Structure 1
């Protein structure tokens, strides 16, 4: 065989090996996509229909594409030479990224007593849409409403029990469902909701963890507005990302003494970024996950108080803070 022939044969052999490797990578990645999306859907449970639809759409699309590619690749009887190796490599990496994102975005689903608090009764009417939950008092309605941002990747329903006493006290409570459970993807939600809940004319914005950080941005934007203004900012185990020391609104920060995420040191360090007259309440023995009902949270501290007791204290302080604006 000539030298040119040997080179061509070696090239063809290398190409065949490369295509075979790519075929197996395709099989593995697509199969992983099917497994991860099915697991994520099962783990997410009822939040697939009660959460913002963005995550459900992501899972469905990822599952369908992964399933189609997996079936085709596993049924392939022969290795075919395909070009565009760089593009194929990039698509493989992007596919892994999407699958990893679907896994990482699995939310913490609401548990009792939050689920029971989602039921309407003689005092509060609970309504739920694809992008928000509204707790509406059935009696006299205050002019002061509450807009509360959930923590990262936490079911919006998880805050129904801790916030329901506010609605029982006469305040409309709006809890947005964030796309993919990320508060920064819901920064326009408060602006859209401001005029939609008459007779509310003033608002207390608040949030848990990352949700509180986004609520602080809303407070900064709408405090002092001529209509539908923000008059209060309520932090649940949270703090601002920017300087709010000159904020024209009252502030209450409620935190947990045993919080392993929004630690007491972090809360203390954030005081310089808040108005000098901001109020602070520390729930002795409380942890990060006690500000909602969604189970334990990775990285959190160990509680030394019951969640029922902590929830009652958080709710009472929140009601007292918001009621003060009616006086």
Structure 2
């Protein structure tokens, strides 16, 4: 028995209405993702661009930092930015991994400025540095949540002002979690509350005086606390914690 013309007409109208709703939702999401993006502060980014020790390259998917002298370690980091934070805002903070440890840093340019919506595989980003043998994945804020999702596929996980939403306690992945005592978003209580989602031997480091936005260079952020330390001090603390982590986990940085 074939459907009546009236039924076919009703079904067509329903499908058309659903298609319009989906289109409106997509357009609204794209528009929302472009509003309120926290841009990189020009000063710190320019310092990275002008640093003769750093080779910087970028395309539509990534921003890549490597040692300019070619003396790179076999260790690299794929890093997901926080929601609506420009990828360039992390170049200065992560540059010490390049200059101090010889690492390759691949900063992802997420779809719609939202790492959680970016379902591209890690090979999309690791292929930017085929010479790297050991890959870590990391992220800031909601970028860290995305990093947790792909962590079982890499050699280590690094969280900056972030925590996992899913359980990776039994993954066996080495984890370094850096948090800030003044973080008003990924607060110390929230990070402590999600501690059991990480492996028991995860390295937890709270940087005294750091806020949520201390892990990038994009200015103050609504809801955040006020930082009590300088960017230079944060750089030092991040680099020192990373050096100890790399050594303890024998991850191959120089």
**What is the TM-score of this pair, normalised by structure 1?**
0.65
Cα distance in 2 between the residues matched to 1:126 and 1:114: 14
Aligned to 2:119: 187
Q: Is the 1:114–1:157 Cα contact (8 Å) retained in structure 2?
A: no
Q: Displacement of 1:231 after TM fit?
A: 1.4
Residue of 30, 34, 38 corresponding to 1:105 = 34
Q: 1: CA distance between counterparts of 2:147 and 2:50? A: 26
Residues in 1 aligned to 2:204 and 2:157: alpha-carbon distance in whole angstroms: 12
Looking at structure 1, the residues matched to 252 and 26 of structure 2 have their Cα atoms a distance apart, in angstroms, of 49
Specify the SS of the correspondent of 1:326. Answer: coil
Residues 1:283 and 2:207 are matched in the alignment: yes
Is it true that 1:245 corresponds to 2:153 in the alignment?
no
Higher alpha-carbon deviation: 164-173 or 188-197? 188-197
Confirm or deny that 1:326 pairs with 2:252: yes
Residue matched to 1:133 = 63
What are the superposed Cα offsets for residues 47-106 of structure 1, whole Å, 9 maximum, x if unpaired?
xxxxxxxxxxxxxxxxxxxxxxxxxxxxxxxxxxxxx9xx99x979x7698468625532
Distance 1:205 1:97 in 2: 29
Local SS of the residue matching 2:155: strand
| Structure number with larger C-alpha Rg | 1
In 1, Cα distance between the equivalents of 2:155 and 2:24?
45
- Cα distance in 2 for partners of 1:246, 1:96 equals 37
Which of 238, 245, 260 does residue 184 from structure 2 map onto? 260
Structure 2 equivalent of residue 122 of structure 1: 52
In terms of fraction of residues, the more helix-rich structure is 1
What runs of 5+ residues in structure 1 fail to find an aligned partner?
1-83, 223-229
Aligned to 1:269: 193
Map of 1:302-321 to 2, 5 A cutoff?
Answer: 302-321=226-245
Change in Cα spacing, 1:146 to 1:96, as seen in structure 2 (3 Å) is closer
Alignment of 1:136-285 (within 5 A): 136-139=66-69, 140-168=71-99, 169-220=101-152, 222=153, 230-285=154-209
Query: Is contact 1:117–1:164 with CA below 8 Å preserved after alignment?
Result: no
Equivalent pair of 2:106/2:126 in contact (CA under 8 Å): no
- CA separation in 2, counterparts of 1:96 and 1:198? 38
Distance 2:193 2:25 in 1: 38
Q: Which runs of 5+ in 2 are unaligned?
A: 1-12
The whole-number CA distance in structure 2 between the counterparts of 1:127 and 1:196 is: 10
**RMSD across aligned positions (CA):** 2.6
TM-score (norm 2): 0.82
Structure 1 162/102 Cα, relative in aligned 2: closer, same or farther at 3 Å?
same
- Number of aligned positions between the proteins: 233
Contact 1:114–1:159 (CA<8 Å) still a contact in 2?
no
